[in-house]
């Protein structure tokens, strides 16, 4: 309830705002990370999402069907929609155009009346004004009331008044902005795939909207496939372009996520409710064993879950259990069902809209609103119950799978206890492949997870034995998708990892959150060291996915790192320079060659195994000179999503990925 006092206060604040406005946008420029999260690549892309979110709001209000995003040649981005157009008339309280208010007042967002139920809005929900503040040029073009209006800004300040530049027969808003390189010092280069993945996700989350992405920068040469299946260049240059559109929303999102996995039930189960809050859920079971749940609040991916996820898990387990009991499907089952058993092979997307979301957790992407739990639990329960009643055959398949999961889990637990008992009795236990360090204080100890036995050998030679331990790994075995329930952890390679670490995988508490006991963790730096090539990144991605799914707390506590081996060695006589980028390589070649590249050799490192132990130490392992990249929750989530969503390719991505993994299998076999 809003009382009169509150309205009055708000009005007073509004009229004083001509001064506050400037302060507002200057504050954004002074501390941009406070408003958009960071000023690296993430923040840069966030600018686009912030503008697009406004178009989505307009679409959700029923006034917009198309959004076109274009990356221009100078890394400007143009976002065009066919909504009503931002109003350009005088804003009475402000004494200037409404357009100017939207573009210069923090949180003005778009809608002025409080009653409008604005639930979209980016992670930081700061609005277009923030984008304006952080752009060295922003052009707003509005088609409205038969006219074309234009206004330009730089760093949040208008360069002139709103001008009428022509006549319009349509309506809509086009915002074109160029990110300010003095703010985004690291990079202003947009990544097509990053934008594509987010826009695809938005199209699934907001069914009916058509979103296009076009890249006018790099021109890619067109390839065609001939009758023999060979790819041939046509000599034609093409722009990258994608169109994202989903008529069925989350149902199709699930089909996209699970493309290639064989399904246990023919169609995803859908949950739709508007009773307490808008709830939109789709779920399906495949014949695999891993659990994939993506949750969203107001279109924001909630990496750390929260009350909506909790409600979903509760509602799902409760309903399945009740049904199984009632249908007598558990009559022969003597064991116990644990919460995870209900989610083996489950793929689900949960999307809720919350008017005043409270975000918690390290990444501020964990929903805290307690009232959401019951709402989602009830909605899920009701819809799943109806589904089970109407689909007895599918219901039976699902319950059988759950029972199988429980049985496998119990067997695995027994086997693990046996191993543990043996380990305690014999005192042995550390994996044979582990070259441990001598130090025992975990804070000082580092564990290198190294791709391949050969690189592992080099690392063992090159390391500081006192504090650095080495565990060689084979990439393929980490494919935990392939094994049932806890049996995933019975693979030798995976067991080596957690035995060396001294911990077990996370256990679920009563709210469905997973926690680990880290008190026995033997190393406070877990460093993934793979080749600096595509295969190496894939293996790093696999390991990160494993940690993300089963040892999340390691990442959350900042214990996981990536090593960064160099790409080149530039040499002339006795002078040697390691290089990590092409820029460094060129610079080093020029410097050593004193202006010419005569007598300079450039060695491209193909893998860790090509380096000597001394070189590996110098470049990648020596704490005084190496570059470690600490893995954040967002990084790991991204790796997991890359793995699961197999993003951004026209080629059937799942198959490509499987082929790549089969490739590892062949190397190792
Ligand atoms: C304020 C009021 C109205 C629409 C918008 C803003 C609006 C903002 C953006 C940002 C990007 N695209 C947008 N489209 C619309 C309502 C206008 C009316 O009542 O006619």
The proportion of the chain whose per-residue pLDDT surpasses 90, expressed as a percent, equals 60
Phi, then psi, of 186 in degrees rounded to 5: -70, -45
List, in order, residues 6 or more apart from 68 with CB less than 8 Å away: 78, 79, 80, 81, 211, 212, 214
Give the mean pLDDT of the chain.
Answer: 85
Q: Mind spelling out the 3-state secondary structure of 216-235?
A: EEEEEEEEEECCCCCEEEEE
Residues 549-559 have a mean pLDDT of: 92
Q: What would the pLDDT profile of 457-499 be if each residue is shown by its tens digit? A: 999 999 999 999 999 998 655 555 555 555 556 677 888 898 8
Our answer on whether the CB atom of 129 is closer than 6 Å to any ligand 1 atom is: no
Cite the beta strand spans of 93-159 per DSSP E: 96-97, 135-144, 147-154, 157-158
Measured CA to CA in angstroms, residue 487 lies from 293, 313, 451, 496, 549 at distances of: 20, 22, 23, 14, 15
**Ligand 1 pocket: which of 110, 131, 138 to mutate (most atoms within 8 A of CB):** 110
Distance 242 CA to ligand 1 centre (A): 25
Using the mean position of ligand 1's atoms as its centre, give its distance from the Cα of residue 190 in Å: 26
Average pLDDT over residues 263-278: 96
Q: Is the CB of 54 under 6 A from ligand 1?
A: yes
3-state SS class at 636 = helix
**What average pLDDT does the segment 143-147 reach?**
98
% of the chain residues with pLDDT over 70: 85
Q: Among residues 170, 509, 533, 659, which one is catalytic?
A: 533
- The per-residue pLDDT for range 610-632, each reduced to its tens digit, is 889 999 999 999 999 998 999 98
Contact 110 CB / ligand 1 (< 6 Å): yes
| Stretch 423-432: mean pLDDT | 66
Lowest mean pLDDT: which of 11-25, 45-59, 233-247?
A: 11-25
Tens of pLDDT, residue by residue over 101-129, are 999 988 665 444 333 334 444 444 568 99
- 446-451 β-sheet, strand order: 468-473, 446-451, 525-529, 560-563, 628-630
At 37, is the pLDDT very low, low, confident or very high (cuts 50, 70, 90)?
A: confident
Q: Please list, in sequence order, all residues whose beta carbon lies within 8 angstroms of the beta carbon of residue 171, skipping any fewer than 6 positions away.
A: 82, 83, 84, 85, 143, 144
pLDDT at 151 over 70: yes
CA of 202 to the centre of ligand 1 (A): 19
| Sequence-separated contacts (24+) of 1-7 with Cβ below 8 Å | 2/114
Between 180 and 334, whose confidence is greater?
180
| Residue 15: burial class (beta carbons within 10 Å; 0-12, 13-18, 19+) | exposed
For residue 8, the model assigns a pLDDT of 53
Question: Could you read off the pLDDT of 644-665 as tens digits, one per residue?
Answer: 665 333 334 444 443 443 322 2
Contacts of 96 (CB under 8 A, 6+ apart): 90
More confident residue, 309 or 6: 309
- d(Cα 642, Cα 24) in Å, to the nearest integer? 37
C-alpha 58 – ligand 1 centre gap (Å)? 6
**Can you tell me whether residue 124 is helix, strand or coil?**
coil
pLDDT at 391: 98
Highest-scoring range by mean pLDDT, 104-113, 515-524, 535-544: 515-524
Active-site entry in 451, 486, 618, 640:
451
pLDDT grade, residue 19 (50/70/90)? very low
Ligand 1, atom 4, residue with closest C-alpha: 86
The two most distant CA atoms of the chain are separated, in Å, by 86
Helical (H) or strand (E) element with 528: strand 525-529
Over 70: is that where the pLDDT of 325 sits?
yes
* 535 is known as an active-site residue: yes
| Exposure of 230 in the CB half-sphere (CA atoms within 13 A) | 4
**Type and span of the H or E element at 623:** none
The tens digit of pLDDT for each residue in 309-320 reads: 999 999 999 999
Cβ–ligand 1 contact at 609 (below 6 Å): no
Banded model confidence at residue 599, pLDDT cuts 50, 70, 90:
confident
CA–CA dist 469, 438 (Å, integer): 9
CA distance linking residue 120 with residue 583, whole number of Å: 41
Residue 137, helix vs strand vs coil: strand
Q: Which atom of ligand 1 is nearest to the CA of 83?
A: 14
Question: Among 535, 576, 587, 634, which one carries the catalytic annotation?
Answer: 535
Residue nearest to atom 5 of ligand 1 (CA): 86
Distance from residue 353's CA to the centre of ligand 1 (Å): 20
> Who wins on pLDDT, 569 or 141?
141
pLDDT at 453: 87
Q: Is the CB of 100 under 6 A from ligand 1?
A: no
451 given a catalytic annotation: yes
Distance (Å, rounded) from C-alpha 655 to C-alpha 261?
Answer: 10
Which residue, chain included where needed, has tokens 């372009």? 241
The mean per-residue pLDDT over the stretch 16-27 comes to 60
55 lines ligand 1 (CB under 6 A): yes
- Please enumerate in sequence order all residues whose Cβ is within 8 A of that of 598, keeping only pairs 6 or more positions apart, or say none: none
> Is the CB of residue 122 below 6 angstroms from any atom belonging to ligand 1?
no
Ligand 1 contact, 173 CB (< 6 A): yes
Cβ contact 472:456 at 8 Å: yes
473, 543 Cβ separation under 8 angstroms: yes
Query: Where is 421: in which H helix or E strand?
Result: helix 392-426
Q: Answer yes or no: is the C-beta of 24 below 6 A from any ligand 1 atom.
A: no
Q: How confident is the model at residue 561 (pLDDT cuts 50, 70, 90)?
A: very high
What's the pTM value of the predicted model, to 2 decimals?
0.82
- Spatial contact of 568 and 602, defined as CB atoms under 8 Å apart: yes
Span from the CA of 207 to the centroid of ligand 1 (angstroms): 20
102 lines ligand 1 (CB under 6 A): yes
CA 121 / ligand 1 centre spacing (Å): 13
Contacts of 657 (CB under 8 A, 6+ apart): 643, 646
Q: What local confidence, expressed as pLDDT, does residue 315 receive?
A: 98
């Amino acid at each position: 309830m809003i009382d009169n006092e509150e309205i009055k206060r708000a009005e007073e604040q509004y009229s004083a705002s001509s001064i506050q406005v400037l302060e507002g946008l200057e504050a954004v420029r002074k501390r941009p990370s406070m408003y958009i999260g960071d000023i690296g690549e993430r923040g840069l892309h966030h600018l686009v999402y912030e503008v697009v979110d406004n178009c989505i709001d307009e679409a959700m209000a029923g006034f917009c069907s198309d959004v076109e995003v274009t990356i221009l040649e100078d890394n400007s981005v143009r976002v065009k929609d066919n909504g009503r157009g931002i109003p350009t008339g005088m804003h009475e309280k402000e004494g200037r155009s409404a357009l100017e208010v939207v573009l210069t007042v923090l949180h003005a967002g778009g809608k002025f009346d409080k009653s409008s139920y604005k639930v979209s809005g980016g992670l930081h929900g700061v609005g277009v004004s923030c984008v304006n503040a952080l752009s060295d040029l922003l052009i707003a073009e509005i088609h409205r009331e038969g006219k074309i209006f234009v206004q330009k800004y730089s760093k949040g300040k208008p360069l002139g008044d709103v001008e009428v530049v022509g006549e319009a027969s349509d309506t809509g808003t086009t915002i074109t902005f160029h990110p300010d390189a003095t703010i985004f010092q690291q990079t202003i280069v947009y990544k097509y795939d990053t934008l594509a993945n987010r826009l695809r996700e938005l199209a699934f989350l907001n069914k009916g909207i058509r979103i296009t992405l076009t890249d006018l920068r790099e021109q890619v040469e067109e390839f065609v496939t001939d009758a023999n299946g060979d790819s041939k260049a046509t000599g034609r240059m093409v722009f990258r372009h994608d169109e994202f559109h989903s008529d069925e929303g989350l149902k199709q999102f699930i089909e996209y996520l699970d493309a290639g996995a064989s399904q246990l039930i023919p169609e995803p189960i859908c949950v739709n409710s508007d009773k307490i809050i808008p709830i939109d859920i789709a779920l399906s079971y495949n014949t695999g064993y891993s659990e994939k749940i993506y949750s969203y609040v107001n279109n924001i991916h909630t990496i750390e879950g929260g009350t909506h996820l909790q409600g979903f898990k509760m509602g799902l387990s409760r309903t399945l259990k009740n049904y199984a009991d009632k249908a007598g499907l558990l009559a022969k089952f003597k064991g116990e069902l644990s919460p995870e058993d209900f989610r083996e092979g489950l793929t689900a997307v949960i999307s809720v809209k919350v008017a005043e979301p409270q975000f918690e957790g390290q990444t501020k992407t964990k929903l805290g609103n307690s009232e959401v739990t019951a709402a989602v639990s009830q909605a899920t329960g009701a819809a799943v119950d109806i589904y089970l009643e109407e689909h007895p055959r599918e219901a039976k398949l699902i319950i059988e799978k759950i029972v199988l999961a429980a049985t496998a889990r119990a067997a695995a637990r027994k086997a693990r206890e046996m191993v543990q008992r043996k380990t305690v009795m014999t005192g042995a236990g550390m994996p044979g492949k582990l070259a441990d360090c001598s130090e025992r204080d975990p804070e000082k100890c580092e564990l290198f997870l190294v791709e391949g036995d050969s690189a592992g050998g080099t690392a063992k030679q090159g390391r500081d034995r006192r504090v650095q331990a080495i565990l060689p790994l084979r990439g393929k075995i980490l494919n935990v998708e392939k094994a049932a329930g806890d049996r995933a952890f019975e693979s030798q390679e995976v067991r080596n990892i957690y035995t060396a670490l001294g911990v077990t995988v996370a256990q679920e508490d009563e709210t469905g959150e997973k926690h680990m006991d880290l008190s026995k963790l033997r190393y406070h730096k877990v460093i993934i060291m793979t080749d600096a090539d595509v295969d190496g990144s894939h293996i790093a991605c696999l390991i990160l996915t494993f940690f993300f799914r089963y040892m999340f707390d390691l990442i959350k506590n900042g214990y996981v790192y990536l090593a960064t081996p160099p790409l080149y060695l530039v040499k002339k006589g006795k002078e040697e320079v390691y290089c990590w980028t092409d820029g460094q390589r060129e610079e080093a070649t020029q410097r050593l060659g004193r202006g010419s590249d005569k007598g300079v050799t450039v060695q491209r490192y193909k893998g860790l195994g090509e380096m000597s132990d001394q070189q590996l130490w110098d470049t990648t392992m020596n704490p005084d000179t190496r570059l470690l990249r600490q893995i954040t929750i967002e990084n790991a989530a991204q790796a997991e999503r890359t793995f699961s969503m197999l993003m951004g390719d026209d080629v059937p991505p799942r198959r490509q990925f499987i082929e790549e993994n089969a490739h590892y299998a062949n190397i190792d076999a």
